[in-house]
Amino acid sequence: MGSIGSIGIPGLILILVIALIIFGPKKLPEIGSAFGQTLAEFKKSTKEIMSDDSDETTDTKETAEQKEKKTEERSDKNAGA
């Protein structure tokens, strides 16, 4: 069996015709609109999560650099004493 990526144009047309028969012409635009809003919200959430992850990665790098500087400062003090 093929994957969902190999549906093709005829398959999509068939799915749309079946959806039109099942839901009717009045309900189909509402369903499409709801699907579009859901997809937009999903994209927005994904971007926020990716943004948060990159911020945490930056914070982690800065914290590691600060710890490294403190360790170097302690090493310099101990070497001087």
Q: Taking a C-beta distance cutoff of 8 angstroms, is the pair 28, 20 a contact?
A: yes
Closest by alpha carbon to 18, among 30, 5, 28?
28
State whether residue 33 is helix, strand or coil.
helix
Q: Taking a C-beta distance cutoff of 8 angstroms, is the pair 28, 19 a contact?
A: yes
pLDDT value at residue 80: 59
pTM above 0.75, yes or no: no
Which tokens hold the place of 9? 């144009």
Confidence of residue 66 (pLDDT cuts 50, 70, 90): confident
Please state the domain extents for the chain: 17-80
* Residues 14-40 pLDDT 10s: 998 998 899 888 898 898 899 999 999
